[in-house]
Structure 1
Amino acid sequence: MEQESGPAARPRVVVSVSTSVDGRVTLRSDRLLMEADAARIWRSMQPEGAQAAEDARSALLAGLHQPQAVLEGSGSLVTGSTGPLTGLPEDFDEPVDTLFTDFLPEEVVERPGHEKWFTVVDSRGRVRWSMKRNGGFDLLVLVARATSAAYLAHLRRERIPYLVAGGERVDLAAALRRMRDKLAVTCVVSTAGGGLNGALLRAGLIDEIQLLVIPAAIGGHGTPALFDGPQLADGELPTRLRLLFAHVGGDGMLWLRYEVIREAGATP
């Protein structure tokens, strides 16, 4: 994921994820937790108090930050082997230049009952959407200038809002700033997998981490973890954290809350 420079204000970013004790966020690299069998196995790992802990974490986030958006990567919705959508019409209702501008239809942005955005990073246009809203959540897609015009035209025909940020890939910093400028989003909660969370980490865009650690170990070489992506570059330091809260449940569930320590002079 690319990033743009600049000190412009962006939303607070909180990573809020459940992991195994070895930091895994799914069972295997080719298994999506949205699949019924994988979801069943994942639930079987969790002790009885897991749902109560998740509810308490959500309530704390709501009380502290009033988040207006949840962030996911396309890799949480389609497997790594899934390519861009094919078979989309190539005849567009609007000029191509217009397709590469933000699309925020008023009937969605101003929809009565709208509460939050379910925001998905999909620079390659891989997800075919069957659901555009769920309760108070409305779908918002983050795309790049390299996203195909056919996919953007498809989103417009489906009246799915999107923001354009970045060249070859979504520029996460720019996208976050645009979410604040265009949609008044002041806090984003990332429930994503390791790829997107790892990109947020390397870009220095994470402010807080909330973890629920399940008393189970998964292992496996290449099994997606909390923060995947590029290794530390020569001279690059790990991200330092300050513990804000820790709770150990009687059932072995561990709830941890950390704040990212900003180095002096660093631009958040």
Structure 2
Amino acid sequence: MSLRVVTANTMTLDGRIAASSVPSWQDERWRPILEAGFQLIDFAELHGASVILEGSNSFVAKDAGGIDGVLSGTENEFREDYLPRHVIRRFKRWMAVVDSRGRVAWEHPHQGDTHVLALVSRKTSAGYLAFLREREVPYLVAGESRVDLDLALRKLGETFDTDLIVSTAGGTLNGALLRAGLVNEVDLQILPMILGNKEAPSVFEGYSPDFATAPYRLTLLEQQTRPDGSILLRFAAGK
């Protein structure tokens, strides 16, 4: 089954998706943008996707430390995929979060019909994996020292029988997906607002930090002016 990956973000006119390293929904400086009256696009609904991809930075600050639980067995027991059937069967939509450093403390791992699934590596703390199991948060192990995105996406497609994943992650994960050649489409909702802070996170970060790689060229698929004054742009990716 061929897997299609769409990155989808809402951004200001100067390309910012948050005000700082603090998740945007926790940052008072980003609140005026959230409260400006725009109808933010639900990109998963737009594409009819049952699996969305997020990075841990969407939930905790970049400098947040790891979390450890209490081990009740050997470490190797925890380094296998954890997919409790009663959880998998119950939910229709999934938010897969890349978190090889084990930083997000999932106090509320589901909302409505959407449940969290963690993407971890074999180097992820066994204590964190025990923490996830204690809270019945499913996880997939993909990669050694960090999450292998290609493998993780393929495992997501197989686990949930889908050929489409929509990434609503931040710039770091978006850049990694682009760098790995895994992006098929880039969607952007552009708000007619300017943040004006050069330190604020942008849509794509780390794609070519040393300018060794040529700019990534996209092909416009669709442009749509929305009633709230924002613009939807859809681009085909791939070289």
Structure 2-normalised TM-score? 0.92
Residue 148 of structure 2 is matched in structure 1 by 171
CA contact (8 A) 1:75 1:193 kept: yes
Q: C-alpha separation between the residues in 2 aligned to 1:189 and 1:96? A: 32
Residue of structure 1 equivalent to 2:79: 100
Distance 1:250 1:107, change over 3 A: closer
Q: Which amino acid aligns with 2:118?
A: V
Counterpart residue number, 1:14? 6
What's 1:25 paired with? 17
Deviation, 1:231, is: 2.0
Contact 2:18/2:30, CA 8 A, preserved across alignment: no
| Structure 2 counterparts to residues 1-268 of structure 1, below 5 A | 11-29=3-21, 31-35=22-26, 37-38=28-29, 40-44=31-35, 46=36, 48=37, 50-51=38-39, 54=41, 59-62=45-48, 67-86=49-68, 88-89=69-70, 91-92=71-72, 94-111=73-90, 114-231=91-208, 236-249=213-226, 251-260=228-237, 262-263=238-239
RMSD value over aligned CA atoms?
2.0
- Contact 1:10-1:180 within 8 A present in 2 as well: no
The answer to whether the 8 Å contact 2:18/2:201 transfers is yes
How many Å separate the matches in 1 of 2:191 and 2:211?
Answer: 33
Greater C-alpha Rg: 1
Corresponding letter in the other structure for 1:35: Q
Counterpart for residue 4 of structure 1: none
Q: Specify the code of the residue in structure 2 equivalent to 1:109.
A: I
Code of the aligned partner of 2:76: D
State the shift of 1:127 in Å.
0.6
Partners of 2:146 and 2:207 in 1: CA distance: 15
Unmatched tracts of structure 2, length 5 or more: none
Say whether the 8 Å CA contact 2:19–2:27 is kept in structure 1. no
Are 2:53 and 2:95, in contact at CA under 8 Å, matched by a contact in 1?
yes
Please report the TM-score for the alignment, with normalisation by the length of structure 1: 0.82
How big is each residue's C-alpha offset from its partner over 1:156-212, in whole Å with a ceiling of 9 and x where there is no partner?
Answer: 121110000011111110100111222213211111111111111111111111111
Q: Percent identity?
A: 38
Whole-Å separation in 1 of the counterparts to 2:2 and 2:54: 17
Query: Which residue identity does 1:12 align to in structure 2?
Result: R
Gaps of 5+ in 1: 1-8, 264-268
Pairwise CA distance, 1:61: 1.4
Contact 2:67–2:127 (CA under 8 A) maintained in structure 1: no
| Residues 242 and 258, structure 1, Cα contact 8 Å, conserved in 2 | yes
Question: How far did residue 219 of structure 1 move?
Answer: 2.4
